[in-house]
Amino acid sequence: MKKKKDKKIDIDMGWANSSLDVKLPKFNLKKIDTNEVLGLLNSGDKEDRKKAVSLLFEVYSKRYFEIAQSVADSKPNDPHAFIWEWYSQVKGDTKSLKTEDEEDAQFETEKKEALGDIFWNIENDEPKPTSEKEIGAWLDNAVKNNANDKMSFNRSLHCYWSEPPQDVQFIAFAGMKINRQPFNLEKIDTKEVLRLLNSEDTNDIKKAASLLFEGYSKRYLEIALKTVDPIIGAHRQLEYIFHNLYKAQTKPTSEKEIGKWLDYFVIRSLYDFSIQQD
């Protein structure tokens, strides 16, 4: 008996050209009714395709979280963001800084948005699988191809971020340097210093300044040595800055705020003085 030749089927494999290097686990087709999904994708009706893609998204979206993260990561980011973050930390403006939980939530949102965009593109695209067993490979490659296109687009964007002002940069980098060593509040009686700083008596504030100078002047010495003219002397300039603490426009409102408040006041004063020297 003559063996029948396999019938040749013209299959459009244009979807199978992804170059995104992400290893995905074996596709589990048992999670869906493959016959229904294939019928919806091949019906030629936009609403049917939308229904099929929505079903696939609901069942398999978690499968592509790593790809979605790659897409989210490819978006241009402000290269100066870390400077602004450090500036805010030194200034004590913690309201403008995201907590770890808020950052995690933002990453998750960006990831879900990227994945939502990918599936929206698949919904509005034309390629489709020609058999039930192809659904997995087709969807994997459709996701990868759309992710590749989005990443290529993101990388082609030409964004411009202006550099932060000089004072912001100075304060941020000085903050990075001094914060290699945490502010040790145990060197002073924080309750007493807070009381003195918030007194309306200038002599009380000067007494607090003297205590703070004795406890923390060395913390700022390295920055002062690079900022202050040797003729004037870094130590003398720090003495002058601490002496003028009574002129500070703000005051710490709690004992734990003393460190941040003092760091910002001293660094800002050193910057202002460096400008006057120029």
84-123 pLDDT, tens digit each = 888 888 887 766 656 667 777 877 888 899 999 999 999 9
Q: Name the 3-class secondary structure at 182.
A: coil
| Residue 97: predicted pLDDT | 57
According to DSSP, residue 168 is labeled H
Reported pTM: 0.60
Query: Contact 15/145 with Cβ under 8 angstroms?
Result: yes
Burial 51-89 (b: 16+ CB within 10 A, else e): bbbebbbeebbebbeebbbbbbebeeeeebeebbebbbb
The pLDDT assigned to 118 comes to 94
pLDDT value at residue 122: 93
List the one residue out of 261, 245, 233 whose CA is nearest residue 89: 261
* 277 contacts 229 by C-beta, under 8 angstroms: yes
Q: pLDDT for 55-80, tens place per residue? A: 999 999 999 999 999 998 888 888 88
**Look-up of token digits 């003729």:** 231
Q: What CA dihedral angle connects 195, 197, 202 and 207, to 10 degrees?
A: 80
Mean pLDDT, the chain, whole residue set = 86
The domain ranges of the chain are: 29-156, 166-277
